[in-house]
A and B are shown apart, each in its own frame.
Chain A
Amino acid sequence: MDRRNTATSSPSPRPGLSGERLAFQLDTLFETISELSQLADPVVVMEQFVLMSMGALGTAQGLLAVQDRLTGESQLIKRGLPALAEKQIQRALQILSGKLGDTGDILSRQALVVTVNEHNQALGLPDDVHVVVEWYLDDRRVGLLGYGQKINGSPYDRHDEDFLLRLASALMDALAVAYVQETIRGLNETLMSRNKELQQALQVSQDIQASLDRRYFHFKAVCDTTSELSANLHVSTLLPSFLLSVMGTFSAQQGIIVLWNRAEQTIDKVARGYSEENVPSLDAQRLESVFRELLHPPFIPSQGKKHFLILDEEALKNLELAEAMEMGGAFFVDENWYGLIGLGNCLARTEGVQAEHELMSALLQGFLVGLGNALAFETIETLNADLLQKNAELRQTLDELQQSRQTITLLEAAGQRISTMLRSETMRIKRVSLFDCLAMALVSLVLALVFNASSPGGISLLPETWGQPRPDFIDVPWARLKHESQGALFLDARPVEFFNQQRIAGADNLPLNLFDFVYAMRFAMLDPDKDIIVYGRNISRRYDELVAAKLTERGMANVRVLEGGLQQWLRNGLPVEP
């Protein structure tokens, strides 16, 4: 290598150079610097530099090559050189770059003329290149500047070399500025693209945030509805609660929910936002047709299938459930419980249909869980009520059994007592009883008294003598005198059998039982003043008093009764007969 001249930043003009030429070079240099300072693209700088420097040097051939040692990229500007020169120039750049790595003594912004007016063999550049300037912009970029022979055929002199170094210096300055600008531009572009990406990311983030907000709202609505429904275990309150919750979630002004028990043909219906005359009428027949249209007979949900069906506005319109329904759903718990829900006049429907359907699906899923729980709870309550009732009945039955048992015990005791009484009674009536005897006597007495009182042949229960005046009595000694003097008629009043058996001597018989007959036969003609002494009495009869009374009644004035009777007569040893 022939290093002829070098320049760092601003070489001073050499003495001996003509003024015109110097002025021309300075003007050219000034224009070049001015021109290049306005350019920002290094390639354009290089292209412009090559053209301007060729013109200033008066040559038709020029090249400018630069290589980035870090990236290995190279840039080549050539004018008037054949296409095959590119490979040679590339190889020269490789050599130059390798040389920079070997020496390590190259300063930044350094340029040196390595060949003037001859072929540079060291770098292997094309033969047309007569001037070669190596320039080092910094540790990273190195380059070659080469020109062909002058058009006028003159060789390059030292002034040209100086001028060339100044141009190279101007080029390096412009390139440095251009590279800086390019770096800044690149950074700007990177920054802009990053900004754009950041804005896109921000947009995506905002979209995600909105989606998250929506999801959160949905999730909160589902959570609120589910928590509200989970605490509600009665169908009658569950339906309006769910309907209001769904209406609130979808900002609906009208809503209706119907629960149909297909087995028992009962319908629970709750409507909100409808006037009384506009409430959709849904009877069992209508619901049958609706579900026959929505589902397929026999309405039995298959395993693993969804238990609800989201109905859009079109489907609701086809079902003709009510006017202005915008969203709804059909659901069923099992083969007996079916339901419909419909919403109308939704105020704010900003979300997509898919999101609304998802929300409605989530709400219906939660509702179906709550409804299933409520129905199960009602079933449990019914079973519990039945169980309580059966318990009460059982307790009552037990009480009745207890009472019956007590009654049976009492009855058994009473039966035992009655049995004992009956047995003793039967034994008693088979024995002789004083009571029976007295009873028989009493009955006999009553019958006797009644019969005696009512019979014409009845007799007085009291002795007749108790009702008569006391008769006159005559004692035995006086009667004896009467007997001995036969001054009195002795009458025996006893029955004839006793008279015949024994009597006072000379006495006549006038028995009481035959008084009328005997008196009429024998004593009717008796003197009424005749002394008559009547005797005859015993423990059982006072014949003497009765006969004396009868005689007195017949007009006998002197009738007396023998005191002591026949017994006293006998005791006195007075005569009797037979």
Chain B
Amino acid sequence: MMQTWPVRLLTHEYVALVLRLYIGGLFIYASMYKIGYTAEFAEIIASYRLVPYWMVNFLAVFMPWFELVCGVLLIIGFRAKSAVVLIGGMLVLFTIAVVINLWRDSPIPCGCFSSVEDPISWWTAGRDLVWVAMTVHIYYFDKILHLENHFTSKIEKIA
């Protein structure tokens, strides 16, 4: 069954590539500040009031690097499926956290890219949902310019 051109356009692999690069770059960019300012990021996590106090510092140390690794792997296309799933999962958690704090009416910044930001809002949650949608798109339609394809294609030829 022939697909209509808008569907084909939306589901095109180049669109997925662009989204992949965007999301990957976004996470790399977001991790830069958090890695450099671990203590501030810990305060951001704590401000969400969702994580037990004994786990806040650990997450502040671990999360930025996790975002960086996932973003880098997503961009270069190595274990991209797993990376995009993890990024999507993180975005879902972030969105939930934002929604919860919006529901609590917490006067906290998002803390996504820096510690000095406007307080979270439904726009923040909507933005996160858009990013989640992008990861879904990437998950299903991203196929080209993967680093591992460079090897797997040869392996597939050999196999």
A498 surroundings in chain B (CB, below 8 A): 106-107
1/0 contact string of A231-242 vs chain B (CB within 8 Å): 000000000000
With A436-B82, A500-B107, A542-B53 as given contacts, are A444 and B148 in contact (CB-CB < 8 Å)? no
Among B45, B50, B61, B64, chain A packs the most CB atoms within 10 A around the CB of B61
B61 surroundings in chain A (CB, below 8 A): 448-449, 452, 458-459, 461
Q: Which of A420, A457, A466, A495 is in CB contact (< 8 Å) with B39?
A: A457
**How far is A498 from B158 in the complex, measured between Cα atoms in Å?**
62
- Judging by beta carbons under 8 Å apart, are A462 and B54 in contact? yes
528-550 of chain A: CB within 8 A of chain B:
538-542
Q: Which residue of B lies closest to A429 (CB)?
A: B148
320-342 of chain A: CB within 8 A of chain B:
none
What are 30 contact pairs spanning A and B, CB under 8 A? A419-B159, A422-B159, A423-B155, A426-B155, A429-B148, A436-B82, A437-B82, A437-B85, A440-B86, A441-B66, A443-B69, A444-B62, A444-B69, A444-B70, A445-B65, A447-B69, A448-B64, A451-B35, A452-B61, A460-B57, A461-B57, A463-B57, A465-B53, A466-B54, A495-B43, A497-B47, A497-B106, A498-B107, A513-B43, A541-B43
**How far is A460 from B65 in the complex, measured between Cα atoms in Å?**
16
With A463-B54, A539-B50 as given contacts, are A423 and B159 in contact (CB-CB < 8 Å)? yes
**How far is A329 from B43 in the complex, measured between Cα atoms in Å?**
125
Q: Which residue of A lies closest to B115 (CB)?
A: A513
With A436-B79, A437-B86, A445-B65 as given contacts, are A538 and B159 in contact (CB-CB < 8 Å)? no
- Judging by beta carbons under 8 Å apart, are B56 and A452 in contact? no
Q: Which of B37, B45, B155 is in CB contact (< 8 Å) with A422?
A: B155
A419 surroundings in chain B (CB, below 8 A): 158-159
Q: How distant is A535 from chain B, measured CB to nearest CB, in Å?
A: 16
- Judging by beta carbons under 8 Å apart, are A426 and B54 in contact? no
Chain A interface (Cβ within 8 Å of chain B)?
418-420, 422-423, 425-426, 429-433, 436-437, 440-441, 443-445, 447-449, 451-452, 455, 457-463, 465-466, 495, 497-498, 500-501, 513, 538-542
B65 surroundings in chain A (CB, below 8 A): 444-445, 447-448, 451
A420 surroundings in chain B (CB, below 8 A): 159
Q: Which residue of B lies closest to A541 (CB)?
A: B46
Q: Which residue of A lies closest to B149 (CB)?
A: A430
Q: Which residue of A lies closest to B31 (CB)?
A: A444
**How far is A228 from B82 in the complex, measured between Cα atoms in Å?**
96
Q: Which of A431, A459, A495, A500 is in CB contact (< 8 Å) with B81?
A: A431
Chain B interface (Cβ within 8 Å of chain A)?
35-39, 42-43, 45-54, 56-58, 60-62, 64-66, 68-70, 73, 79, 81-83, 85-86, 105-108, 119, 148, 152, 155-156, 158-159
Among A422, A432, A441, A458, chain B packs the most CB atoms within 10 A around the CB of A432
- Judging by beta carbons under 8 Å apart, are A463 and B53 in contact? yes
Q: Which residue of B lies closest to A450 (CB)?
A: B65
**How far is A425 from B105 in the complex, measured between Cα atoms in Å?**
48
Q: How distant is B85 from chain A, measured CB to nearest CB, in Å?
A: 5
**How far is A441 from B90 in the complex, measured between Cα atoms in Å?**
12
With A423-B159, A426-B155, A497-B107 as given contacts, are A452 and B53 in contact (CB-CB < 8 Å)? no
**How far is A420 from B81 in the complex, measured between Cα atoms in Å?**
21
**How far is A513 from B109 in the complex, measured between Cα atoms in Å?**
15
What secondary structure prevails in chain A residues at the interface with B? helix
Q: How distant is B17 from chain A, measured CB to nearest CB, in Å?
A: 16
- Judging by beta carbons under 8 Å apart, are B38 and A426 in contact? no
Besides A444-B69, A447-B65, 7 new A-B residue pairs in contact (Cβ under 8 A), listed by A number: A422-B155, A423-B159, A445-B65, A463-B53, A497-B47, A538-B49, A540-B53
Q: Which 4 A-B pairs have the closest CB atoms?
A: A540-B46, A436-B82, A448-B65, A497-B107
Q: Which residue of B lies closest to A425 (CB)?
A: B155
A431 surroundings in chain B (CB, below 8 A): 81
**How far is A522 from B43 in the complex, measured between Cα atoms in Å?**
23
A449 surroundings in chain B (CB, below 8 A): 61
- Judging by beta carbons under 8 Å apart, are A540 and B50 in contact? yes
- Judging by beta carbons under 8 Å apart, are A539 and B38 in contact? no
**How far is A444 from B83 in the complex, measured between Cα atoms in Å?**
12
Q: How distant is B103 from chain A, measured CB to nearest CB, in Å?
A: 14
With A419-B158, A451-B65, A461-B61 as given contacts, are A430 and B46 in contact (CB-CB < 8 Å)? no
A495 surroundings in chain B (CB, below 8 A): 43, 47
- Judging by beta carbons under 8 Å apart, are A440 and B53 in contact? no
Q: Which of B43, B62, B108 is in CB contact (< 8 Å) with A448?
A: B62
B46 surroundings in chain A (CB, below 8 A): 538, 540-541
Q: Which residue of B lies closest to A540 (CB)?
A: B46
**How far is A430 from B139 in the complex, measured between Cα atoms in Å?**
10
Q: Which of B53, B81, B106 is in CB contact (< 8 Å) with A539?
A: B53
**How far is A441 from B73 in the complex, measured between Cα atoms in Å?**
12
**How far is A201 from B47 in the complex, measured between Cα atoms in Å?**
160
